[in-house]
Structure 1
Amino acid sequence: MMLRLLTLWVIALFLLPPAYGQLPGAPQNVQATIESETTSPAPGDTVTVAIIMDPKPGWHDYWLNPGDAGTPLELEWTLPEGVSAGPIRAPVPETLVVGGFMNHIYRQKHAFLVDIKLPPKLQPSKQIDLKVDARWSACSDLVCVPEGGSFVIPLKIGDGRIDADQRSRFDMWRAALPVPLDRQAQYKINGKVISVAIPFPENADAQSIWFFPQTENVFRYAAKQSARRSGDWLVVSGEIDTQFTGRIDGVLRFGDAQGLIVRATPGMVPQGGNALSVLGEKTGETGGSTPGNLFWILGLSILGGLLLNLMPCVFPILGLKAIAIAKSGGNEREARLDAVAYTTGIILSCLALGGAMLTLRAAGEEIGWAFQLQDPNVIFLLLLLMTAITANLAGLFDIGTIGAGDSLTRKKGVAGSFWTGVLAAVVATPCTGPFMAAAMGAALLLPVGQALLIFAGLGFGLALPFLAIAFIPPLRAHMPKAGPWMENFRRWMAVPMALTAAALLWLLAQLVGGAGWVIGGVSVAVLIAALFITTRKKAHNFAILGLASLIAITGIFAITRLEPPKTGSLTASKSGNVPFSVEKLAAFRADHRPVFLYFTADWCVTCKVNEAAAIDREETKAAFKKAAIVTMVGDYTRRDPAITRFLAQNGRSGVPLYLYYPAKGEPQILPQILTEDMMLELAK
C-alpha cells in the first residue's frame, strides 16, 4: 500500500502544474534594447532594426548556432498586415570552452540586425508599430539564466530620411557582420576529419582562423581546428560529428573579428600548404574550462551528495535505512541488492528533478533547485505521505511486520529500498550543502546530458554510505544485528517523521494562508482514520489506495481554489530585517553601509537551523546593531524569479546562500553552516 501511495505521489509531483505565476524580475545580465535606423520610412522601404545586446562584465549571450550549450536569440514578431521580417543577421562570434564544451558567444556590446520590408501601398503619415518578443540566454562561466523582453518600435510613414548620426551608428553595427563570400567553398570528409576549402587570396593576411558552422550537427564543436593556406585557398580542418553530404553554411573568422559567410558543398580540397594560427593560439579567446573540469564538477556533486547525509532534512530517511540494513543481517546478497535498489531510486529521482528543472528553465521559468517545494500541491502530497509513514511506524496500521525473524520476499525488499531512495532524494532537495552549491550552479551551464550527469552524481553521493556498508564486509560487520530492538526503534522513528509532517503542515499554511491549517489538518485526520479502519477490516489494498487518492484529490482541489497570501514567511519582516531587493542592496552599497544578506525558505531545514543557531540569536542582533550592519533577507519559500537570478549570479541554484557586504570592498560568500562566532566576527 505504501508503495502505491508513493507511486501516486511521484506521478502527481511531476504532472501537476505550478500553482502560481512568476513575480517581477531583477535587472538583466544581458541588457537588450531595440532601435530602428529610421522612424519615418517611405512606402515600400526596407527598414533595418537593431536588437542591441549589452552583457554585464563576466556575462555573455550566444551566436545563431550556440555550439554545445546555450540558446540563441529567438524573435517572435507581431507585424501589421503586409509587413514582413527577414532573418537575423549576427556579428562574428568568439569562442568559449566550458567543461570541455564549445560555446559560440559574445562578451562585448553588439547588435543583431533584422530587415523589415514594408508594403508599397502604405499611406503617408500612417502610424504602424513593429512588435517583437525576444528570448535569449545570459550566461557567466558558471551559470545560465533565461532572459527576455517585449519591444515596440513606432514608425510613421514618411520620406525615408535617415539621420546622419543614426546611419553612422548602424554602419558600425553592419561593419561587425561577416561579409558574404562571392565564390562557393568546398569540403571533403575523410574518416572523422572534415576539411573545408575556402577561396581566399594568397596575398591576403589571415591569422587567428576559426570556422563557425551554422549548419548544426556536422562539426564536433569542441574539437581542435587547424588551418593552412594552399595558394588561393584557405583550408580549415576539424572533426566531424555526424556523416553529412549536403551543403554546409558557416562563418570563417580571421584577423581582428573579421568574417566571411561561407557556403560549402562536397568537392576537392587542395593538399599541402603553410600552417596558419587558429583562434586561441595567440588571442587566448578559447579559454575556460578543460574536459577535466567536468570531472572536478562531478566530484563536487558527489561530495555534496555525501555531505547531505549530515543535514537535518535527511535524518528521518536515514532511520528507515538503518532498519533495512539491520533487517538484512549478515546476508551479503540481500544487503547489496538493497543498496543498489536504494541507490537506483535516489539517482533516478535526482535525474527526474534535475531534468524537470532544466526543462522548465529552458521554457523561460525562473526556478532553482528544490523548485517543487514552492508548490503547495506538492507540499500537500508530501504531508499525506509523511503522515502515512508516521502512522505505519507508530503501529496505527500495519502491512506486514518487520519484527525479528520476518523475511520479506526479494521483490518486496528491492521495491521497498527503491522507493525509500526516491523518498530520500525528494526529502533531501530542500538542502544545499557544502560543495553541492557550486556543482548545481555549474550544471545550469552545461549541456543537458552533462548537467544530468551532475545530478546523478549528487544522488550517487547521497547513497554512497549505504553502498559502502553493503559492499565492504568490515563495515557491515559493525552494523547491529536484527533483533527485538528493531520494533522499538521503528516506533521511535515515528517521532522525526511526525515532526517532518508537522513542518510540512506549517509550510502549507505559509504558502496558502490560514486555510492551509484547516485543509492539511482535516486531510491528515481523515487519512489516519481511513488507514486505521481499512487495515483493521483487512480491506483490499486497492480500496485503501482509492481512499487515499480521494483524500489527495479533494485536498488539491481545495488548495487550487485558494488565493495565495500577499505575504509569505515572516522571516523577511522580523524587526530590523529588510526584504531583499536588488535596488535596495545597491542603495546600501552606495551609502557604504555593511549588509548581511541571506536567502532562506520555510521548507529549507538547514536554513532554519542556521537561523536558530546563529542569525536570530540576541547576541548576534546586538552586535549587528552596534556595528550598523543591515540584515537583508530573501525569502524563497514561493517562486521568485528575481531571487532565482540573483542566486544564479552567485553560482547557486538553491538556498541557503549567505553573503556579507562590507562597507568598502568586495562581498564575501559565507559557509552554508553558520555559527554564532562567525556572525559576531562580522561585526568586529
Structure 2
Amino acid sequence: MSLLPLFLSRLIAFIFVAIGAIPTWANAQNSITNLVTTEQVRAELMAYAPDGADPGKTVWVGLQLTHQPHWHTYWKNSGDSGQPTQLTWKLPPGVIAGDLAWPTPRKLPTGSLVTYGFGDTVLLPVPLTITPEFKPSLLTPELEVKLQASWLVCKEECVPQDGEFVLRLPVKSSTALQGNVFQAAFAAQPQALKGSSSITLEGSQLKVSVNGLPTALHGKTLEFFPETPEVIEPGAPWSQAWNGATWTASVPMAIHRSASPTELPMVITSEVDGQLSGFATTAQISGSWPATPAPGEPAPASDGPSTFTVSSAAASGALPTSFWLALAGALLGGMILNLMPCVFPVLAIKVVSFTRHADDRRGHRVSGLAYSAGVVLSFLALGALMLALRSAGQQLGWGFQLQSPVVVAALAVLFTVIGLNLAGLFEIGQFVPSGLATLEAKNPSVNAFLSGILAVVIASPCTAPFMGASLGLALSLPALQALAIFATLGVGMALPYLAASWSPALARLLPRPGAWMDSFRRAMAFPMFATVVWLVWVLGQQTGIDGASALLALLVGVAMVIWAFTLRGKSRLPIAAICIAAFASMTWATGKNIVTFSEPAGGVASSARWQAWAPGKVDELVAAGSPVFVDFTAAWCVTCQYNKRTALADSGVLADFDAKKTILLRADWTRRDPAITAALAQLGRNGVPVYVFYQAGKAPVVLSEILSVSEVRAAIAGL
C-alpha cells in the first residue's frame, strides 16, 4: 500500500485536468447536426447565403426556435425573470460573427411578473462577415459554421436547455432554401426611428419622450421595452400619453437597479390586428440616478442625486473587515472539513501512516509537513482552476469536479484500486521495477504529499460550516485575495495533522506498531469500497442505470486485470493479455454510457411534497404570497444527503411546513447547471448544501450547512 500514491499520481493528475474539460467524451460521441429537438422546443440552425460565401460577402445564419404551445424563450432583456438565449460561434479564421439581430419582443405576463420574449416560432439571425483571410479547403470548399447555444424555455416551470449545431455551406454556390424565413425575420426586427428620444429622471420615475413614430400610431397604446436589464420594474403599473406627435410615458425605475446608464436603447411596439411592429431608438438620459439599496433593504426615501462615499479602509488601501472574517471562517471550516464523511477514507490512510511513524519522530514531522503542503497546494490549484474557468465564462462552484461523470468514474477506479491494495490482493512492488520499489523508502514524504492531494480531491465536494460564506466572498474578490482564502482552507484542513506530527504529547497517544496493523489495514479496505458504492450511486444520478452498470463492469474489469498480474508462472502473461484485451473491449463497448448524461426525469423531486426548482419560480411563488423553502443539493454532496434524511425528513419539521403553507423546492446541482450556479451566487454562496427561506418583503434567510431540527423549526416559526 505504501507505494500506491506514487503508482496513482498520474491518475490524480488526470483527474485535475479532466475537471476543466468543457467538451467531454460524451459530447464527442454524440453526432452534431443542425437540429436539436426537446419536449418543449425544436431548435434548428439555418443559413441564408444567396450569393455564396466568398470573401467580401455576408452570410446570414440563425437559430430558429419553434416552441410547443404555451412555452416561450426570452429576449435580450428578459424582464422580471428568465435568461436570454445565448449563441456562441466557432468559425474558421477570417470569418467574423456580428451581433444578434433580435426580433421585436412581446410581453409575457405571469401573475404579477412580466417577462419579455417569444412564443410560437422565432428566428435569431446573426450576420457573418467573410474576410479575405478566409481560406477554404481546395478539396472541400465549404464554410463550416459551429454553434453552441443555450436557452431557457418556460411555461409554468422553466427548463434550461442547450445544443450543439453545425452547418457546412458551399462557398461558390448559393444557399437560399430558407430565404423566406430570413426575410420574415428581417421584417420582424424593430425599425430604426429617425426622431429624437429622451428620458428625464424624476424621483423614482423615468419620464420617457419619443418623437418620430409613424402617424398611424398616433393616439394608440404602445408597449415599452428597455434593452438594458434591471433598470425598470417590468411588472409595475406605468402610464403613457400622446402630446401631439410626441409619445410620453412615466415608468417606475427598478428599486434594486443593476446599472445607471447615461443612455438607454429601447424598443417601442404596437400591435394592430395581430400584426406586431417595433421601433428602435436610443434615449439620452438627463438627471441623477438615486442611490440603490442593498438587497432586502427598502428603497431610500430621498430623491436626491446618488452619492458614493469611499470608506477609510478602501481609501487607505487596507483590506476590509469582511476579508479577515472570511479568512477566519475558511480556517475554521477547513478544520471542520476533517470531520465530514467525504474525508473518512483518506483519514484511514493517514491513521496507518501516522502509526507507522510512531517511533520515528523526525519522519513523523516530515510526513506532516509534506501532507500539509499537498493539501494547501491542491486547494490553491483547485481554487485557481475554478477562478480561471469562471473568468472564461463557465458557471462553476465548489465541488464542480464531481459534476463531471469522467471525474466520478476516475475516482471510483482509484478507490477500487486502493481498496484492493488494502485488502491484500496485491502489492505495488509486484508491478514496478525494484528501483522504483525502493523510492518510497528513500522519499516517504512523497507518499504524504500525494495523500494530501488525494484528500483534497475527495473532500472538496463537502462544504463544512463557515466555509460557505468564505467561498462565496472569494469569488467576488481580486484573484490574490481569493487565493488567500483557498490557501487558508487548506491550512485549516491540514492543521490537525500538522499539530499531531509536531506535538510530542499527541505523538505519545498514538498506538505502537504491531501485528494489529495488518488487520487494521485490511479493515480499512471496506471504507474504500463504501466510497466506491457512493460514487457509483452518484454516477447513476448523472448517467442513469446504464452508466452505473457500465461503471460496475469497468470496476470488475480493473479487478480482473490486477488479479491477472498477481499470478505466478508461465501462465501469468497470457492470462494478463487476455484480461487486458477483454477489459479494453468492454470499455470500448460500454464506456460511452459512463460519460453520457441521461435525460432528466422531467423535474424530479424526491417526494410528492417537493417540487423541482427552476429559474424564476421562486419569484412567481413569492409574488403570489407563498413562503418558499429551497434546498440546493447534489447527489455527490454527502452532507446534503444526511440533512435530507434527518432534519428535512423530521415529522415535526414537515408539519410546520404544512402549517405555514410553505412551498418546498429542490434545486439539484448534481449536473452542472449555470442557472443554479447563478442563484447560489446571488446568495453569496458557490457550493452546496444551501438552505434558504424566501418570503415577500423580506431578505432571504440562509440556514447553516448542517441542519438541526430546532434550527429549521425556528426559521419556519419566523415566517
TM-score (norm 2): 0.57
1:284 maps to what in 2?
Answer: 309
- Pairing 1:453–2:455 present: no
Out of 340, 346, 364, which is 1:311 matched to? 340
**2:657 matches 1:642:** no
Q: Deviations over 1:46-87 (max 9, x none)?
A: xxxxxx99999xxxxxxxxxxxxxxxxxxx86179xxxxxxx
How do 1:417-496 residues align onto structure 2 when only pairs under 5 Å count?
417-496=448-527
Residue 498 of structure 1 pairs with residue 518 of structure 2: no
Other structure's SS at 1:644 match: helix
From the superposition, tell whether residues 528 and 681 of structure 1 become closer, same or farther in structure 2 (CA, over 3 Å): same
**Structure 1 counterpart of 2:32:** none
Q: 1:161 to 1:346 in 2, by over 3 A?
A: closer
Matched, 1:386 2:386: no
CA shift for structure 1 position 630: 1.5
Return closer, same or farther for 1:553/1:348 CA change in 2, 3 Å cut-off.
farther
Q: In structure 2, what is the equivalent of residue 416 of structure 1?
A: 447
Q: Who is 2:568 aligned against?
A: 537
The CA deviation at 1:296 is 3.4
Structure 2 residue matching 1:514: 3-state secondary structure: helix
Confirm or deny that 1:673 pairs with 2:706. Answer: yes
Check conservation: 1:3, 1:419, Cα contact below 8 A. Answer: yes
Q: Which amino acid aligns with 1:644?
A: T
8 Å CA contact retained: 2:564, 2:579: no
1:653 to 1:532, Cα distance in 2 relative to 1, 3 A: same
Deviation digits for residues 179-201 of structure 1 (CA, Å, limit 9, x no counterpart): xxxxxxxxxxxxxxxxxxxxxxx
Show the counterpart of 2:83: none
Q: Does the C-alpha gap of structure 1 residues 412 and 509 become closer, same or farther in structure 2, counting only changes over 3 Å?
A: farther
Whether the aligned pair in 2 keeps the contact of 1:512 and 1:559 (CA below 8 Å) is no
Aligned twin of 1:576: 609
- Find 1:370's aligned residue among 396, 399, 404: 399
Displacement of 1:389: 0.9
Task: Decide whether aligned partners of structure 1 residues 164 and 503 sit closer, same or farther in structure 2, where only a CA change above 3 A counts.
Answer: same
Shift of 1:457: 1.5
Query: Helix, strand or coil for the counterpart of 1:597?
Result: strand
1:401-432 deviation digits (Å, cap 9, x = unpaired): 9xxxx999544421211111111001111101
Q: Out of 587, 590, 593, which is 2:626 matched to?
A: 593
Q: Does 1:3 align with 2:36?
A: no
**SS at structure 2 position matched to 1:582:** coil
Whether the aligned pair in 2 keeps the contact of 1:351 and 1:455 (CA below 8 Å) is: yes
| 8 Å CA contact retained: 1:328, 1:334 | yes
* Residues 1:79 and 1:393: Cα distance change in structure 2 (over 3 Å): closer
Q: CA–CA distance in 2 between the matches of 1:325 and 1:569?
A: 49
Question: What is the alpha-carbon distance in structure 2 between the residues aligned to residue 456 and residue 493 of structure 1?
Answer: 29
Aligned residues: 464
Structure 1 residue aligned with 2:158? none
Q: Which runs of 5+ in 1 are unaligned?
A: 24-51, 57-75, 81-132, 134-152, 172-255, 258-281
- Cα distance 1:283–1:518, how it changes in 2: closer, same or farther (>3 A)? closer
From 654, 657, 665, give the equivalent of 1:632: 665
Give a deviation string over 1:448-502, Cα, whole Å, max 9, x none: 2332222122111111100011122222222222222222221221121111000
CA contact (8 A) 1:5 1:545 kept: no
1:600-639 paired onto structure 2 within 5 Å: 600-639=633-672
Q: CA 1:314–1:398 in structure 2 vs 1: closer, same or farther (change >3 Å)?
A: same
| Counterpart in the other structure of 1:162 | 194
Task: Sort the Cα spacing of 1:330 and 1:584 in 2 relative to 1 into closer, same or farther, 3 A.
Answer: same
Tell me, what secondary structure is at the counterpart of 1:309?
A: helix
- Which amino acid counterpart does residue 637 of structure 1 have in structure 2? T
Determine if contact 2:605/2:666 at 8 Å carries over to the other structure: yes
Rounded to whole Å, the distance in 1 between the matches of 2:421 and 2:621 is 52
- 1:388–1:532 CA distance, 2 compared to 1 (3 A): same
CA distance in 2 between partners of 1:299 and 1:664 (Å) = 32
Q: CA deviation at 1:376?
A: 0.5
Which residue number corresponds to residue 78 of structure 1? 98
What do residues 15-40 of structure 1 show as CA deviations (whole Å, max 9, x unaligned)? 3334378x9xxxxxxxxxxxxxxxxx
> Does 2:686 align with 1:653?
yes
Gaps in structure 2 of 5+ consecutive residues: 28-35, 37-75, 81-95, 101-147, 149-184, 201-207, 211-287, 290-306, 431-436
Deviation, 1:517, is 2.4
TM-score normalized by the length of structure 1: 0.59
Q: Is the 8 A contact 1:568 1:637 kept in 2?
A: no
More moved, 348-357 vs 504-513:
348-357
- Which residue number corresponds to residue 327 of structure 1? 356
State percent identity of aligned pairs: 34
The answer on whether the counterparts of 1:509 and 1:516 sit within 8 Å (CA) in structure 2 is yes
Is this contact kept in 1: 2:397–2:687, CA < 8 A? yes
Confirm or deny: 8 A CA contact 1:595 1:630 kept in the other structure.
yes
Q: Give the drift of 1:518.
A: 2.0
Rounded to whole Å, the distance in 2 between the matches of 1:672 and 1:654 is: 10
Distance change >3 Å, CA 5–CA 547, structure 1 → 2: farther
Deviation at 1:441, TM superposition (A): 1.2
